[in-house]
Structure 1
Amino acid sequence: MWDERYSGTEFAFGTEPNDFLRETFEQIPVGGHVLCLAEGEGRNAVFLAEQGFKVTAMDMSEVGLNKANKLAKDRGVAITIQVADLADYKFGQDKWDAIVSIWAHVPKTVRQYVHAQVGTALKPEGVFIVEAYTERQLETEAVGGPPASQRERFGCLQSFQHELVGLNEVIGVEKLRMVSEGKRHQGLSAVVQFVGKKVSN
Structure 2
Amino acid sequence: MWNQRYADNNYIYGTEPNSFLAEHTDILLNPVLSLAEGEGRNAVFLASLGFSVHGVDGSEVGLTKAQRLAHSKGVEIQTEVADLGLFEPLANHYGSVISISAHLPSVIRNRLYPLVEQCLKPNGIILLEAYSENQITRDTGGPKDLDMLMICAKVEQEFPNCEPILMRELEREVCEGKYHTGMASVIQFIAKKKA
Into which bin does the TM-score normalised by the smaller protein fall? over 0.9
Gaps of 5+ in 1: none
- 1:30-69 aligned at under 5 Å gives the runs 32-69=30-67
Q: Which residue of 2 aligns with 1:193?
A: 188
Matched, 1:177 2:172: yes
The runs of 5 or more residues in structure 2 that have no matched partner are none
Secondary structure at 1:86's aligned position in 2?
Answer: coil
In the alignment, what sits opposite 2:157?
A: 162
1:139 offset after TM fit, Å?
3.0
Deviations 1:132-169 (A, max 9, x none): 001111233x410001xx22000121011111021110
Amino acid at match of 2:19: D
Runs of 4+ deviating beyond 2 Å = none
Letter in 2 for 1:10: N
Paired with 1:48 and 1:106, the residues of 2 have a C-alpha distance of 23
Q: Which amino acid aligns with 1:77?
A: V
Q: In the alignment, does 2:146 pair up with 1:151?
A: yes
Alignment of 1:20 onto 2:20: yes
1:72-111 map, 5 Å: 72-111=70-109
The whole-number CA distance in structure 1 between the counterparts of 2:45 and 2:163 is 25
Q: Could you tell me how far apart the structure 2 residues matched to 1:40 and 1:118 are?
A: 18
Aligned residue pairs total 195
User: Counterpart in 2 of 1:127?
Assistant: 125
Q: 1: distance between equivalents of 2:116 and 2:131?
A: 20
Matched-pair identity in %: 41
RMSD between aligned alpha carbons? Answer: 0.9
Measure, in 2, the Cα distance between the counterparts of 1:8 and 1:183. 11
What TM-score do the two structures reach when normalised by structure 1? 0.94
State the TM-score, normalized to the length of structure 2.
Answer: 0.97
Secondary structure, aligned partner of 1:110: helix
